[in-house]
Amino acid sequence: MTAVQPRFDAVVHAPPRLQICGLLAAVDTMEFAAVRDAVGVSDSVLSKHVKQLEEAGYVKVGKATIASRQRTSLSLTKAGRTAFAAHVAELRRITAALPD
Amino acid sequence: MNGSAPDGVDDGVPVDRQAAADQLAGLAAGRAALADRLVQPWWWDATLGLLLFAFLSTYSLHNTWVTVAATVPLAAGIAGLVVVYKRITGTWWDARKVGPVQGRVRRAMRWWFAGYLAVLALGLAAERLLDVRGAMVAAGAVLGLGAALLSRWVTRIYVAGLRAEL
């Protein structure tokens, strides 16, 4: 088992993006609407953050037509999983000295 | 923010301890909420088990063409279950590859596969070599029940893992 090297990631850091990455890290894919509901933001706000994550190479956006309806699914890329794990490790490192 | 000095700084973005702790708590809460929506209804597992049972039972008909043809409804049924799960939960996941219990699930799947082959071999031997009619129906029932229970168990430990730790 390889220990994750703590590394602060400015792309992941913003609260909505951190939440998005947290959800996507736990699954293979998650539908756009489900992420939107879980994070509690509008479609446009989620689109903006997803685009930033996509541009960083952290999120992959997939589109499929099911029963004549287009469904958009999101997934973390390998780079995204690595960046998220490193960022969480960094948050843990920072909180390690947090007094009770 | 508690006014303390920044403990982590990168690209000019400071994070103090309390903010980091709040973010970790937020992530944990998000995962717990996600866990709540990942559990499939009981009939999903039952349908999976019934599909496997129905397929394996066709071996008792001693007609290779029927068994070969039965792979079509089996594959269609499993594909349908995947679509239904995605529709219900908005997610798809493979616990062997993502999430908090990957090693445990991989081990369980290896045992399941070994058990599956053993029961299948016993059933086929009884049905074809010893001419015990209906042996594969019994084997199908065992393996169908096993598949349903395994599916339920995997979801249960996956969800528990999501709730337990980040």
Number of Cβ atoms within 10 Å of the Cβ of B157? 17
CA B22 to chain centre: 32
Retrieve residue B137's tokens.
Answer: 């129906």
Residue B31 to residue A26, Cβ atoms within 8 A: yes
The pLDDT of residue A99: 56
Number of Cβ atoms within 10 Å of the Cβ of B161? 19
- Mean of the pLDDT values across residues B103-118? 96
Q: Which residues pair with A29 in a beta bridge?
A: B92
The pLDDT of residue A98: 52
| Spans of all domains in chain A | 10-92
Q: What is the pTM of this model?
A: 0.86
Please check the confidence at residue A3 and state whether its pLDDT lies above 70. yes
Question: Is B130 in the A-facing interface, judged by CB distances under 8 Å?
Answer: no
Residue B92 to residue A29, Cβ atoms within 8 A: yes
State the ipTM, two decimals: 0.86
More confident residue, B13 or A32: A32
Angle between helices A32-39 and A43-55 (to 10 degrees): 110
- Which residue, B36, B64, B160, is CA-closest to A37? B36
- Mean of the pLDDT values across residues B144-161? 96
pLDDT tens per residue, range A37-72: 999 999 999 999 999 999 999 999 999 877 778 889
- pLDDT-wise least confident of A92-96, B132-136, B157-161: A92-96
Interface of A with B in 43-82 (CB under 8 A): 66
The pLDDT of residue B13: 52
Question: Is A2 in the B-facing interface, judged by CB distances under 8 Å?
Answer: no
Q: Does domain A10-92 have CATH number 1.10.10.10?
A: yes
Retrieve residue B152's tokens.
Answer: 């339920």
Residue of chain B with shortest Cα separation from A67: B83
Retrieve residue B27's tokens.
Answer: 């992530």
Q: Would you call B111 exposed, middle or buried from its count of C-beta atoms within 10 A (0-12, 13-18, 19+)?
A: exposed
A23 CB neighbours in chain B (<8 A) are 30-31, 34
Q: Rounded to whole angstroms, how far apart are CA atoms B163 and B146?
A: 26
Q: Residue A28: which of B24, B33, B92 has the nearest Cβ? A: B92
- Mean of the pLDDT values across residues B119-133? 95
Q: Rounded to whole angstroms, how far apart are CA atoms B100 and A54?
A: 24
Residue of chain B with shortest Cα separation from A34: B90
